[in-house]
Amino acid sequence: MTKFVLIAALGAIASVSAAGPAAVNLGKAGTYAILSKSGISTVPTSAITGNIGVSPIASTAITGFSLKMDSTNRSATSTQVTGSVYAADYAAPTPEDLTVAIGDMEIAYTDAAGRTPPDHLNLGSGDLGGKTLGPGLYKFGSTVIIPTDCTISGLPTDTWIFQMSGDLTMAANKRVKLIGGALASNIVWQVAGYVEVGAGAHMEGILLVKTAAHFRTDSSLNGRILAQTAVTLQSSTVTQPYLGRFLAQTADILV
C-alpha cells in the first residue's frame, strides 16, 4: 500500500515535470568520485569523498596522496580520500573491476557525445557567464567558458547534458550554482578537450572528459571527474553527489 502510494507520487512528478534528456548511464564508473586512465595527482591537502581509481596505468601514477596499502592488496587509503583508492596493479579482482569501470566511463562519454538533437546550439557563443540554464541538451562547437557565475535551474527530476568540442574553463573564484532542487548527479558535461577549474572556483556535475581535468588551488566540485587522461588537484575538494539519478531513472521507467 505504502509502495503503491510512493510509485503513484513518483509517476505524477515524472509525468508533470521531468524535463531534459534521458539520464546518462555511468555504469560502474558511477561508483568513483575520480576515475582516470593516466593518473591522479594532488598538491596536499585535497579532500575527496568517494572512491578514486586509475587504469590501465599503475598506482605509481597516483601522486601526492601518501597511499597506505590495505592488508588485502586490493585497495589503498589516503588521509585525503574518504573512500578507497584503486589501481590497475593491485590484487584481483581490482584490475578487472577497473577495466569494467573504465569501459563504462568510455561508453557514457560516447553516449553523452552522441545525443541529438540539441535544444540549444552554441548558446552565448560558448560563454555561460551570467546565464541561468534550464534542463536540456546544450551543444557547443567550441570551447565553453564560465568567466562569471552561472546558474543551473531545475527540479530534482530534471536533466542536463552539455556537449562541447573544445575545453571547459572556469575563471578563478567563480561558481556554478544549483537552484530549484537541481541535482549535480543529473548534470553531465561532455568535454572533448580538457577541463580547467580556476583557483577558488566551484563546479557542479559529472565531468566526462576526453583528455585532462585540472583543478587549481582551493577549487571544488560537487560531482565526479571521469577523465580519459590525467586529473590534477591542488588543495581541491571533490565530493561525489547524492544519488539523485536513481529518482530520475525510476521516474523514466514509470512514465
| Distance, CA of 138 to CA of 150 (rounded, Å) | 15
In terms of CB distance, is 28 or 74 closer to ligand NAG? Answer: 74
* CA atoms of 255 and 3, how far apart (whole Å): 17
Nearest distance from residue 72's CB to ligand NAG, in Å? 5
Query: Do the Cβ atoms of 88 and 57 come closer than 8 Å?
Result: yes
Size of the site for ligand NAG (CB under 6 A): 3
Q: How far is the CB of 73 from ligand NAG (least distance, A)?
A: 4
Rounded to a whole number of angstroms, the minimum distance from the CB of residue 52 to ligand NAG is 20
CB nearer ligand NAG, residue 47 or residue 69 = 69
DSSP string, 112-142: HHH--S-SEESGGGGB-TT-EE-SEEEEESS
Q: Which is nearer to ligand NAG, 95 or 103 (CB)?
A: 95
Determine which residue in the list 1, 3, 5, 72 makes contact with ligand NAG, applying CB under 6 A.
Answer: 72
**Could you count the other beta carbons within 10 Å of the beta carbon of residue 199?**
16
Q: Which of 60, 66, 73, 110 binds ligand NAG (CB under 6 A)?
A: 73
Name the residue among 100, 22, 35 with its Cα closest to residue 230: 35
Cell numbers for 151: 546558474
Closest residue to bound ligand NAG by CB:
73
Footprint of ligand NAG on 81-140 (CB under 6 A):
91
Which chain residues interact with ligand NAG by CB under 6 A? Answer: 72-73, 91
